Amino acid sequence: MRVNTQVKPGFFWKAGRQYIALSEVPRMLNLTASEVADAVALGELQIERVSGCKVASFEALMEYASIRRGKK
């Protein structure tokens, strides 16, 4: 019997790291899509491409969230 853990769409693991699809980031951090796009353009949020999908690592999101909290 194979045990599968439930993972939400847009969330996945690769090489022991958790990644979130860029389209899910606004919902996760309670931001607008334009705020996320600005963060990516300014280099505040690092993204990667995995199989053609733009993703952000969970660590990068937590780092970005702490930077945003510091600015407020």
In a domain, 60, yes or no: yes
In a domain, 5, yes or no: no
- Helix extents (H) in the chain: 25-29, 33-41, 58-71
User: Which domain CATH number covers 63?
Assistant: 1.10.1660
pLDDT at residue 67, as a whole number: 86
Q: What is the pTM of this model?
A: 0.76
**59 lies in which domain range?**
13-71
Helix, coil or strand: residue 55: strand
The answer to whether 59 touches 46, Cβ cutoff 8 Å, is no
* Mean pLDDT of all residues in 35-59: 92
What tens digit of pLDDT does each residue of 1-39 get? 566 666 567 888 888 889 999 999 999 899 999 999 999
pLDDT at residue 25, as a whole number: 94
Total tally of structural domains belonging to the chain: 1
In a domain, 4, yes or no: no
In a domain, 3, yes or no: no
In a domain, 2, yes or no: no
